[in-house]
């Protein structure tokens, strides 16, 4: 099982399978956050966090929620506003370093 947590531990995620690849996205927000995204179906990710544990920044025509730990400032994941959307992303930098280090990195050029 793969675990990811922010620095202070207020936000934790558990996933049964390691990512097949991680994405380094160069869009306007991702390059500033310095994140590596591991994409999953929302039902694959077990999120443990108090309801108010994260700050939510709505982006991409208000369709995506970028979640950041309110206590330690780590960006933890994004989720679609529409909870039926098939995809979310976990910040792979919150996993044990060996996990993203062993995973192919896809460079995504969005420049948006
Ligand atoms: Zn935290």
Distance CA 51, CA 70 (A): 11
- Tell me, what's the pLDDT at 112? 54
| Structural domains of the chain, ranges and CATH numbers in brackets | 2-108 (2.170.150.70)
The β-bridge partners of 105 are 22
State the distance from the centre of ligand 1 to the C-alpha of 92, rounded, in angstroms: 15
User: Please, which pLDDT band fits residue 111 given cuts at 50, 70 and 90?
Assistant: low
Over the stretch 21-39, which tens digit does the pLDDT of each residue have?
Answer: 999 998 889 999 999 999 9
State the distance from the centre of ligand 1 to the C-alpha of 44, rounded, in angstroms: 21
State the distance from the centre of ligand 1 to the C-alpha of 32, rounded, in angstroms: 18
């Amino acid at each position: 099982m793969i675990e990811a947590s922010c620095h202070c531990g207020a936000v934790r995620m558990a996933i049964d399978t390691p990512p097949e690849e991680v994405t380094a996205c160069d869009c306007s927000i991702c390059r500033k956050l310095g994140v590596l995204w591991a994409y999953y179906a929302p039902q694959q990710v077990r999120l443990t966090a108090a309801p108010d544990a994260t700050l939510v920044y709505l982006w991409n025509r208000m369709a995506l929620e970028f979640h950041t730990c309110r206590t330690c400032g780590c960006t933890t994941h994004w989720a679609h506003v529409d909870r039926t959307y098939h995809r979310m992303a976990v910040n792979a930098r919150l996993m044990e370093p060996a996990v993203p280090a062993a995973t192919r990195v896809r460079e995504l050029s969005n420049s948006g």
